[in-house]
Amino acid sequence: MSADRGQACGTVLLLPPSGPGAAGIARDMSTLGFTVVAGGIAAARKQCPEGVEFVELPRVYDPMFHEAVASLCADRQVRAIWSPHKAVRSALSSIYSTSSVALLGEDALDGEIRRWDEARAAVAKCAFAHDSQIDDDGRILIQSALLQALRIEGESDAIKLVEMGVSLLRAPPGLAVEVGGLFGRSAGHMAIIARQARSRPVLFVDPFALEHAVQDDSPAPLRAGSHTMSWSTVGAIARANLLGAGAREDALFVGTSAEAVESSAISPVAFLHIDGNHDESAVRDDWGAWRPHLVVGATVIFDDYDWVGGTGPKVVADELLNAGVLVDARLVGRSLFARFHQRL
């Protein structure tokens, strides 16, 4: 970005630069053409994002804080101030409420309360969370697991995760299996619930390898995206997230479904979430590997059953529904939830 372009757009002030998300805000604002400056006490200098100028300011409780920030805003043509701290945002109120300086971001404390309220609302929307099989402790458990899971990057939204949690609590005794899962959002959600509820064993299966990640039946942009990922790093992050959720070290199997069932004796499976490669052949392979281990009444979930990127999950699931292998199907967002009824 040229200096002229930065001057034309104005400046964004990070206050302080150590706040959660500061580096991301600095990167995004720079990309948009803003000059980014960080301010704070001297000790905050070492936490300043790389390449961002640091300006020392008084503490927020210092009587000179307001004057120092106002002077900096005028001198540097500050158009917005980003801060996640309640005290800083309160102290800045007289600046951004009476001038053209905007306040960016969200108070971190208010954000935590908002996320809790959103998790509670998602549980409230799930009819199955209010039947006789799920008590108040179960609903709180699902809500708590959801709050943690949504901190992990992933595509499973709150409604699907709640439905997964309810299904996990309602499933018959047995192993809970997830195939695929990227960084471990839904897997972490499952791990927390399974650990607290009857200590249900869990197994998460993913090869974390490019040759298994590329979906040949999907549009070119989606296929290309798989090539930009460091799959070994994705696997390391998933393992860390699962351990953080309380899963055992051996709960993550790095490999395919076929390799997982061949590696050791598999307990009867009461919950199966198929969310790996969505090519029809890959979905068939995953289903074929786990089908012999399913108990009657097991919950089966096909991710992206209703998906613009491909039809693999839908083709396989529809065959099973038409044959009566799966019953009691319902669509939750893009995912199909069903119950295993009989063996072919």
- Which pLDDT value is given to residue 343? 59
- Which pLDDT value is given to residue 304? 92
Question: Domain spans of the chain?
Answer: 9-105, 110-340
- Which pLDDT value is given to residue 1? 41
Sequence-distant (≥ 6) Cβ neighbours of residue 32 within 8 angstroms: 9
Question: 110-340 domain in CATH 3.40.630.40?
Answer: no
What pTM was computed for the model?
Answer: 0.83
pLDDT in tens, the chain (344 residues): 444 444 558 999 999 888 778 999 999 999 999 999 999 999 999 989 888 999 999 999 999 998 999 899 999 999 999 999 888 888 887 666 666 788 888 888 999 999 999 999 989 888 777 777 788 888 899 999 999 999 999 989 999 999 999 999 989 999 999 999 899 999 999 999 998 876 688 999 999 998 888 777 777 777 777 788 899 999 999 999 999 999 988 899 999 999 999 987 788 999 999 999 999 999 999 999 999 999 999 999 999 999 888 899 999 999 999 999 999 999 998 999 999 997 55
By the 8 A CB rule, do 193 and 147 touch?
no
Q: Which tokens is 11 given?
A: 């400046």
- Which pLDDT value is given to residue 193? 92
- Which pLDDT value is given to residue 221? 77
By the 8 A CB rule, do 142 and 197 touch?
no
- Which pLDDT value is given to residue 6? 44
Closest CA to 54 of 76, 31, 85: 76
- Which pLDDT value is given to residue 330? 94
Task: Provide the CATH topology of domain 9-105.
Answer: Rossmann fold (3.40.50)
- Which pLDDT value is given to residue 229? 85
Strand order across the beta sheet in which 11-14 lies: 53-56, 35-40, 11-14, 78-82, 102-104
Residue with tokens 């096909």: 302
Residue with tokens 């072919």: 344
- Which pLDDT value is given to residue 21? 85
